[in-house]
Structure 1
């Protein structure tokens, strides 16, 4: 399974998502261009020392990302407020690519058309959307829960 961010706008959200991926053992792919220099101080601050533990892959464009995920036989699961299926009702597979759109505008229609599935995180009526880093953590947690992909628990020091 991989977690992917489409042209993220906010370094702190990308850093938080990369930290989530590092902690859960899931590669994070960034589809560029990003709205910040990847590797900039704000990005490193948000990811803290987890960036060194992360499996981070950068793609110069959506076409490059899409070609790579297709070559790996991954379904593209787009998390979107326009999805018809709730994410907890969707059957994830261990090889899925979970894609989250940019904070300012999601993903363009061309990306929607390439998705194998479009899922949503149900929310209270009248609210626009969750933070992308929160959405990514929720979506990844559900996908890992369904597929048994969580890392083994470490015993607590004590």
Structure 2
């Protein structure tokens, strides 16, 4: 039966364009699969577990380049790729990253590593088990400090002149539920504000958290650092 079917199939008239298109698709698929496998392998090799994510803020050379005037806080993040992308931005800006549990993924999730590429060794991260643990840690920090929460329902536009100041901690909530009420209560107690990144909600409910974080962080740096060239690169 198989031979009869094969013989029948061999009599089909296939157009040259169809054969070319099918072959090209197969070659492209094969190349993409090989590239994907290669990138995952390289990323894994470049990110040993002992340097992938530090549970405590490191001392010495690891934080010698770290900005002391700004911090990014992700509260209950759910999507590892978003957290990996944000970690990459923190590495590029020299800003410390705080992850507040419960998290929606394992800390060694492969997608988390992949999104951060080979920059994880250059990200300073502190993991907090809960909001209460984070707030206790934050309260114990010396010097000027304030919590700024980002929300589409915030009362203050993210680009308001003079909004940001030294010692600000930028809070971003879970992709699905946003920030918990206790976080908003802490923001008010700290003398902080709820910041809005405006969007047209006709077709889109919200921005990706990594996009919001990039918008807020770079605007904060622009306001705190002043015009380009007036401060040294972190």
In the alignment, which of 122, 142, 158 is matched to residue 219 of structure 2? 142
The aligned residue for residue 198 of structure 2 is: 122
Paired residues for 1:22-101 under 5 Å: 22-72=91-141, 73-89=144-160, 91-101=163-173
Give the direction of change, closer, same or farther, for the CA distance of 1:55–1:82 in structure 2 (3 Å limit).
Answer: same
Displacement of 1:66:
1.2
Structure with larger RCO (C-alpha < 8 A, sep 6+): 1
Displacement of 1:49:
0.8
Larger gyration radius, structure 1 or structure 2: 2
**Greater than 2 Å deviation, 4+ residue runs:** 149-153
**Contact (CA 8 Å) 2:145, 2:166: kept in 1 or not?**
no
Displacement of 1:100:
0.3
**Contact (CA 8 Å) 1:24, 1:151: kept in 2 or not?**
no
Aligned length: 153
Give the direction of change, closer, same or farther, for the CA distance of 1:48–1:119 in structure 2 (3 Å limit).
Answer: same
Displacement of 1:39:
2.0
- Does 89-98 or 44-53 show the bigger shift? 89-98
Displacement of 1:151:
6.2
1:108 lines up with 2:180 in the alignment:
yes
Partner Cα separation in structure 1 for residue 181 and residue 232 of structure 2: 35
In the alignment, structure 2 segments of 5+ residues that lack a partner are 1-69
Partner Cα separation in structure 1 for residue 197 and residue 74 of structure 2: 16
Q: Deviations over 1:79-119 (max 9, x none)?
A: 01121110111611121100000001101222111112101
Scaled by the length of structure 1, the TM-score of the pair is: 0.91
Partner Cα separation in structure 2 for residue 125 and residue 110 of structure 1: 26
Question: Secondary structure of the residue that 2:136 maps to in structure 1?
Answer: helix
Partner Cα separation in structure 2 for residue 118 and residue 82 of structure 1: 8
Partner Cα separation in structure 2 for residue 137 and residue 128 of structure 1: 18
Displacement of 1:74:
2.2
Higher helix share: 2
Scaled by the length of structure 2, the TM-score of the pair is: 0.62
